Each structure stands twice: as structure tokens, then as C-alpha cells.
Amino acid sequence: MLEISSITLDNEMDLPLTHKRAAIIGQQLGLSLSTQTTFATAVSEVCRVVLERTLENLLSFYLEDNSDRWFLIATIRTAKTALNKHAEEFKYAHRLVPILEVRHQDGHTFIDLKLGLPRTVQLTKLKVNKLIQYMQNSITITPYEEIKQKNQELINLAGEREEQLRLSNILNAKKSEFLSIASHELRTPLTVIKAYAQVAKTLKDPNRLVEYLDKIDQQASKVNVLIQQLMDLSKIENDKVDYRMERVDFNKFLSDVVTSAELSNPNHHISLELAHPVHPSMDRLRIEQVLVNLIGNAAKYSASGKNITVKVDVSIPHLLTVSVADQGVGISKKDLSKVFEKFFRADGVTKNVAGLGMGLYITTRIIKEHNGKIWAESTEGQGSTFYFSLPTN
Ligand code: ADP
């Protein structure tokens, strides 16, 4: 359905306007004078009925290509009413147009008046677009129309401003929340490092010292990852990431990444399933960062000892798809679409697992900038699979 024009219906002064607009569309479509008038009368009659009940209505005109013929449709959206197509109030309009339908949807009632256009009216997409342009640019004729149009523009502007304000308030709230989480997340490993360092100073046994130094090393890596993510985020937001694209032997690359991921996630077994060799053009370090993040999350959000499976699929020509599957806590349906948003963390995990909700956002940006796609499937309590695909040609 292609929308040609719409008018808000605020009071009965709009009725002549609806009649005129319907007639102009009929005329532009090349309908006979009597068809133009009948259709326009039916439209303004239904508008009169709804205006008697409520003052906030919308009339929109559409063209619909029903494969063998085109239909001109006038849809009047009004507050939800008990009106139906057999209502006494619509009897007159019903006599004038062949199809009058009433739908109730999303808290509104929609009344559709449909007129099949004669086959002699040859419409193409180009002609329809011209008509849309004509309706948009057609000069306002009466002062009332002009005021109404200006009023509508002001209402739209106010709506846009309100929306901008709402979004900026949400962003501000998210930023302060993020700053408090970030300082907490950074402080936690630092406190642990300090504690281990103090104990290590008193240790005489070199083996125990190495054990403590290992723990300090692990915590320092956590701080490093967080700082790296913060730096990446600011680079990404300012479009300052330079990608060094090169042809990469993907199987070899993935095997190396998985081997080192096994070392940094010693409590999980990672199995790898490779496919036919492919050589995509990619930034080696950035795609490694994507994999480290996905495998790291798979380990973080599943219990020790659970398996992680990394798989490559090249069955679709010119495309490689990597999946990272875990047997972890899973993600609820409502959260699944949000996990790729900046700073998002599912409620259930925030207390138990460290993180800033930046990893998947950064990952998504990297994949998109490689012209790839990223998505996830998950069942709560059973596990999640994250996928990304990259072009290989
Ligand atoms: P972080 O892990 O630092 O919170 P991410 O951006 O990597 O940030 O992930 C965002 C959120 O998505 C996580 O907080 C978590 O709620 C959810 N999530 C990501 N990966 C997984 C996974 N493998 N299993 C379950 N939940 C996940």
C-alpha cells in the first residue's frame, strides 16, 4: 500500500477539505467526474460520522496494487468505537462506495473505503510517485488549510523535540549509571590486586609467591580488558577505528584464536569444528577481538566445566558463518534483541558476573564495519549461540 496523502480531522471545518482532497485524487487518477464526486462524498460522509463522536481522527489515502487491478483506499482512523460496517450511520456512505470495511486494531477503529480503479486507468509506480509528489506540493487553497498545515507542522516539530528530549534524558541516565558501574568494575579487581600484593610481600615460600603473582596477573588482565573496551568505545563512537584489511586463512586463524582462548578460559572445554578453507578479507586483530568477546561471554555466562563449541559454516556461497555455542544461563526472549545495545546487561546476571555491557556493542560495530551480520539464539536455562557472518569474496 502506498500512502498518497493524509489529513487530520479536528473539527467539521475539515469536512470540505476531505471532500476536496478525495476529489483531487480522483481527478488526478483520471476517474470520471461522477466517480470522483461519489467517492469524495462517501469519504466526507464517514468523516462527518466520526467527527460527531471524537475530535482526533486521521484520514489517509492509499493506492494498493492487487496484482490484477489498483484500488484507491480512504482510511479513517478514529478512537475505538463500537461501530461496525453495518452501522446505521454508514448506510449512506455504503451506498456510494462498493467496499466499506471496519477494523479494530491497536486501540483504534479504522474505516476503509475502497474503490477498484477501472482497468483503463493504467498505473505504474512512477505515476503513483508523481501523484504523491503532486499531493505534497499542491498549493494550499484556503486560509484555513494553510493554518491547519502550519499547525500540523508545529505539532510535528513539538513531537520531534519531545522525542529528542526523552532520548537525551534516557542517555544521560544511562551514562551516569554506566559511570558508577564502570568505577565499581574497575575498583573490584584493583582491590583484589592490592590485597594479594600485600599478602605476597610477606610470603617466604617461592611457590606460593608465584601462585599469588598469577592471581595478580589475572586481575590485572581484567582491568586491562575493561580499559581496552572503554578506549574502543570512544574510538568507535568517534569513527576513529582504522581497519587493516588483509586476506586471512580463516581455519588457521580460528584454530590459533581458540587455542589461546582455551588458555584464558581454563575452566571450560572449547571444541572447534572447521569447514572448507576460505580466505576472507578482514582485520585480523578486530575479528580476534570479536571471537575473544563471544568465547569469553560463553565462559562467563556458563558454569565451570560446561562445553563451548565454536563452529564455521561455509555452506552459503561467498559467506562464512561462525557460531559460538554455550550451555550456560541463556537469555530471555525479551532481552535477546537488547543484548547488542550499548551498556545493556540482563537483570539476572548483573550481580553475579563482572562486565560493562560494552563487549557485544563493540563486537556488533566491528562486524557491521566488515559488512557482516551478528545475531543470537538462546533458551533460558539451556544456553546461547551467538553467530556472525562475513563475506568471503
Ligand atoms: P558484559 O558481558 O560485559 O555485560 P556484553 O556486551 O558482552 O557485556 O553482553 C551484554 C549482556 O548480554 C550481558 O550482560 C549478558 O546479560 C548478555 N550475554 C552476553 N553473552 C551471553 C551469553 N553467552 N549467555 C548469556 N547471556 C549473555
Q: Is residue 307 part of a domain?
A: yes
What are 391's strand-pairing partners? 319
pLDDT of residue 140: 59
pLDDT of residue 145: 75
What are 72's strand-pairing partners? 63, 115
Give residues (CB < 6 A) around ligand 1. 293, 297-298, 301, 326, 328-329, 331, 339, 344-346, 349, 355-361, 384
Report whether 15 contacts 7 (CB < 8 A). no
| Ligand 1 mutation target, pool 301, 343, 358, 364, most atoms within 8 A of CB | 301
Ligand 1 atom at minimum distance from 386 CA: 23
- Fill in the amino acid letter for 278: V
Q: Is residue 146 part of a domain?
A: no
Question: Which residue range forms the structural domain that includes residue 106?
Answer: 2-140
Closest CA to 24 of 149, 139, 150: 139
Return the SS3 of 388: strand
Q: Is residue 153 part of a domain?
A: no
Is the same domain home to 39 and 98?
yes
CATH code (residue 111): 3.30.565.10
Q: Is residue 158 part of a domain?
A: no
List the 2-9 sheet strands across, edge first: 2-9, 57-65, 70-79, 108-116, 99-105
**How many domains, the chain?**
3
Eight-class DSSP state of 90: G
Q: How far is CA 330 from each of CA 51, 209, 364, rounded to the nearest angstrom? A: 51, 38, 19
Q: How many CA atoms lie within 13 A of 222 on its CB side?
A: 22
Give the Cα separation of 169 and 64 in Å (integer): 40
Is the same domain home to 77 and 130?
yes
Is the same domain home to 353 and 222?
no
Is the same domain home to 67 and 177?
no
224 CA → ligand 1 middle, Å: 18
Query: Which residue's alpha carbon is nearest to atom 7 within ligand 1?
Result: 359
pLDDT of residue 163: 94
Is the same domain home to 215 and 254?
no
Is the same domain home to 306 and 332?
yes
Ligand 1 atom at minimum distance from 362 CA: 6
Strand blocks (E) in the chain: 2-9, 57-65, 70-79, 99-105, 108-116, 245-247, 269-273, 281-283, 307-313, 319-326, 373-379, 383-391
| Ligand 1 mutation target, pool 345, 364, 375, most atoms within 8 A of CB | 345
Q: What is the pTM of this model?
A: 0.59
pLDDT, one tens digit for every residue, the chain (393 residues)? 889 999 889 888 889 989 999 999 999 999 999 999 999 999 999 999 999 988 889 999 999 988 788 999 999 999 998 888 888 999 999 999 989 999 999 899 999 999 999 888 888 888 888 888 888 876 556 777 778 778 888 989 999 999 999 999 988 887 887 788 788 788 888 988 999 999 999 988 888 999 999 989 988 988 888 888 888 888 888 878 889 999 999 999 999 999 999 988 989 999 999 999 999 999 999 999 999 999 999 999 999 999 999 999 999 999 999 999 999 999 999 999 999 998 888 987 766 787 888 899 999 999 999 999 999 999 999 999 999 999 998
Is the same domain home to 226 and 129?
no
Give the Cα separation of 113 and 42 in Å (integer): 8
Is the same domain home to 220 and 266?
no
Ligand 1 atom at minimum distance from 330 CA: 25
